[in-house]
Amino acid sequence: MTVIGAGAVGAAVAYFLAREGWTDVQVLESGDPSSATTSQAAGFVGQARPTVERARLTMASAELFASFERQTGYTMDWRQVGAVRLALSPSAELELQQIADTAAITGLPVSFLTPRELQEVYPVLEDISTVRSALWSPTDGYLQPNSLVNAYLQAARDLGVTVSPHSPVTGIEVTDGSVTGVTTPHGHHRTELVVDAAGPWAGAVAQLVGIELPIIPVLHEYFVTETAPGWSSDLPCLRVPELQVYARGEVGRVLCGGFEHEGTSLDPTSVQLGSRLVPQPNWEVLGQFSANLERFVPGIGDLGVSSVFRGWPGFSPDGRFIVGPVGELRGFVMAAACNAHGVSGSAGLAMALVESLGKDPSPYVQSLSPDRFIPRTWDWEEARRTAQAVYENYYPMPGSPATAH
């Protein structure tokens, strides 16, 4: 069994396969583990979601993050600081209520905060006069994505997995409709099962075996300011869906990002194996995130920026993971299209993948199958536009198509 890619997804998949008793698992990684999209992630793990499916998946992940060090000895630097979601309008209040209703079904503890409680929980928010409701999710938090990958991989190694950095897969061998091996510059490896966890390159890897999948890289970025009084790492994660902005404290600085209304995506057919995907910061977009946060924290826009994190997470046109075996090619399995929650969802996604390889996967796991896009009846440009719209509506309002799953 070969896992291609050692980002959050590949590392999680390798760990869960080994934990479930799969032997001979090897991970082949082009560069160093966690050197691509995962290294840029903010590490938010939000369990309060509008749909039961999404909420359960992230709850399973958060439970694992909280117990991983105890179980394996390796830390993911998980911080259970809680999260606050603000509503500024009646329709956004409805969304908060929908999330609270979902939480009641899934058993996630959430509560609405009074203005005084909000100020206690989030003292750096100086102006909360426009806030109509605040939903508090105390078991949410964030982790350090590089620690997450290292922890998964260390634990996987303890279970017998081998990890080979600087081993880009350049070819996949197929004999009589079945995968039989992979090629890297170091040689040929015999394998009957390949998991494509190559992040934004996952579509290009699938193309090696003639499979076309709509995995669309969409630009996402955030910035970290210079020192900002009060913004300790213990502050909860903050989300203001209407303004498409999020923030948290990062060692005495502000980490602030968001989901712009007009996103930027790549033509997926132009993504080559091994191409470097490092976007330039878009200062206009970052400035808008800052202006949105400034409504609650006057003066934040005057702070200098110490660093910008950015990348091209893979999106699918229906906003769902692409996970499981490809029906038309025995031994080729997908684990991609994380729709910008591949860190928080890594454990849930990997569990779904393991289940997809078993005898009787649940209807939910079956619904993630890559076969929903095979054979290609869809149009590349239409798929790009639709996947980009998933990004632009990342914080959906009740009843919008993106909440339908």
Q: Which residues bind ligand FAD (CB under 6 A)?
A: 4-10, 28-31, 35-38, 40-44, 168-169, 197-201, 205, 220-222, 273, 309-311, 313, 338, 340-344
Residue 222 CA, chain-centre distance (Å), reads 15
Closest to 292 measured CA to CA, from 54, 127, 74, 60: 127
CB-nearer residue toward ligand FAD: 221 or 355: 221
Query: In the bound complex, what is the minimum distance in angstroms from residue 188's beta carbon to ligand FAD?
Result: 14
CA distance linking residue 287 with residue 230, whole number of Å: 21
Which is nearer to ligand FAD, 348 or 361 (by Cβ)? 348
- Kindly give, in sequence order, each residue whose CB lies less than 8 Å from that of residue 111, ignoring residues fewer than 6 positions away: 135, 136
Minimum Å gap between C-beta 370 and ligand FAD is 14
Q: Which residue has the tokens 């009787």?
A: 360
Nearer to ligand FAD among residue 45 and residue 100 (C-beta): 45
* Tokens 């998949």 found at: 13
C-beta closer to ligand FAD: residue 133 or 168: 168
Closest approach of ligand FAD to the CB of residue 258, in Å: 10
- Least distance from ligand FAD to the Cβ atom of residue 97, Å: 24
Six token digits for residue 271:
């993504």
Q: Which is nearer to ligand FAD, 110 or 343 (CB)?
A: 343
Choice between 39 and 119, CB closer to ligand FAD: 39
CB of 15 to ligand FAD, least distance (A): 13
Minimum distance from residue 28 beta carbon to ligand FAD (Å): 5
Residue 133 or 146 having the CB closest to ligand FAD: 146
Q: Which is nearer to ligand FAD, 31 or 119 (CB)?
A: 31
Least distance from C-beta 226 to ligand FAD, angstroms? 19
The angle subtended at Cα 163 by Cα 158 and Cα 169, nearest 5°, is: 155
| CB-CB neighbours of 372 under 10 Å | 15
Report the nearest approach of ligand FAD to the CB of residue 227 (Å).
21
CB nearer ligand FAD, residue 38 or residue 225: 38
Q: Please, what is the minimum distance in Å from the beta carbon of residue 40 to ligand FAD?
A: 4
CB 246 within 8 A of CB 239: yes
Longest Cα pair distance anywhere in the chain, in angstroms? 67
